[in-house]
Amino acid sequence: MKNNFTFKILPFVLIFLFCVFSFSCATKTVPVETKTDDTTELSLIFPKAIFEKEKISDVKQKVDSEFSQPHQFTEVWGYLLDGREHELNPSKNVVTDVGYFGAGLNTFGKLVGVPNPTKIKDFEGRIHLVIVDNSRSLTHFCLNPKYDVRKNLIDDIVKSSKNFDGVQIDFELVSNQDEEHYLSFLKELKRKLPNKILSVAIPARLKTLEKDAYHYSKINEIVDRIIVMAYDEHWATSRPGAVASINWCQRVMSYALSVIPDEKLVMGLPFYGRGWNTDDTAGAYRFPSIEKLQTNNKISEIVRENAIPSFEINKQVTYKFYYDDLYSLVFRMDMYKDKGVKNLAFWRLGQEETEVWNYIKTK
């Protein structure tokens, strides 16, 4: 009887155990990879626009009420123009690294305009020779290894950097087709500058692009510092908007931190603003368009100067300015600090509200 009961109950026990096992497998915690280069799912600091009117005279009080302590960073880079060395003075007790501007490439790819670091010999931090080029065609010419100009340029950089602590490459218009040439250029330069800090200044990105000369991960394998220029979200010919809005900076920072080690990452901040106006009249016009302007603005007379006609239209123009003040700068720094950013860079010294240095410390 006992054996018969056991035989009858066994199938039910097996079914129960199978169900329990299946349920436990279905609810098992599976590790999730949270590191991603897609920042679209971020919980943004400002999920919707907030507009607040305030008096300019109240800005410092607003900063002090929200941010009571200076923000500590490991490195603070400041860009300094050759010939404007006096603009280093307000920040010299905070800035750890100076990016010394002036050097560039001439028409033939020759290094020119190297500043003399002895001009700021009293500065106790590191001084980096910054080399700039903003010509897509000239950059291509200088990066291509089949031309002797590349080897000569690298030799010039090595020679000119003798009295500097580091070299920074700021080639801002590298074509995607020149990605491999750009990376090999950096590798060769690093190999020939073993005792120097090699850094690059590169554009902001929100994610890894399929084809991009400024591939963060690949560049990270070569250089010692990566300055992410987290500004120019809007520019002179774009629609009006912030040079570096907080939400945009948050997305740029999140992506950068996901692919660049925090000790190498240097987040760039702007010390400038931009202005736009509502007048888009300037440009080239066909004669029918000129006639339409005259009709719409009731122009009945012209002025003829040496046989050439002209007329004027007077109208109200609205200007809108976006800029960074003490509050927005400290707010952005607070966000960076809170998320683990260790290093900052400012473009550029001499453009800032000098009070900002009281809210940063490095020593």
For residue 12, what pLDDT band results from cuts at 50, 70 and 90? very low
Give the CATH number, domain containing residue 160: 3.20.20.80
Residues 301 and 193 in one domain: no
Give the E-state strand segments of the chain in sequence order: 71-72, 75-81, 97-105, 111-112, 126-133, 166-171, 197-203, 225-229, 265-270, 274-277, 303-305, 308-310, 319-322, 343-347, 360-361
Per-residue burial over 323-355, b if 16 or more Cβ lie within 10 Å, else e, is ebbbbbbbbbbebbeeeebbbbbbbbbbebeee
Residues 268 and 291 reside in one and the same domain:
no
**pLDDT of 125 higher than 80:** yes
Mean pLDDT lowest among 24-38, 50-64, 106-120, 172-186: 24-38
Within a domain: 12? no
Model confidence at 38, pLDDT cuts 50, 70, 90, reads low
Looking at residue 39, its pLDDT comes to 57
Range of the domain at 288: 278-310
pLDDT at 284 over 50: yes
Whether residues 91 and 209 share a domain: the answer is: yes
Please tell me whether residues 181 and 201 are part of one structural domain: yes
Query: Which pLDDT value is given to residue 40?
Result: 58
- Cβ pair 239, 327 in contact under 8 A: no
Give the residue from 205, 138, 193 showing the smallest Cα distance to 168: 193
Residue 9 pLDDT class (50, 70, 90 cuts) = very low
Q: Domain check: are 85 and 226 in the same one?
A: yes
Whether residue 111 sits in one domain with residue 225: yes
If DSSP codes are grouped into helix, strand and coil, which group holds residue 4? helix
Average pLDDT over every residue of 255-278: 98
pLDDT in the model for residue 195: 96
| Same-domain check for residues 333 and 306 | no
Domain count, the chain: 2
Residue 37 has pLDDT above 90, yes or no: no
Query: Does a structural domain hold residue 51?
Result: no
Q: How far apart are CA 234 and CA 320, in angstroms?
A: 13
What are the pLDDT digits (tens) for 73-82?
999 999 999 9
Task: Output the pTM of the full model.
Answer: 0.87
Same domain, 104 and 226: yes
Residue 332 within any structural domain of the chain: yes
Q: Is the pLDDT of residue 14 over 70?
A: no
Q: Coil, strand or helix: which one is 9?
A: helix
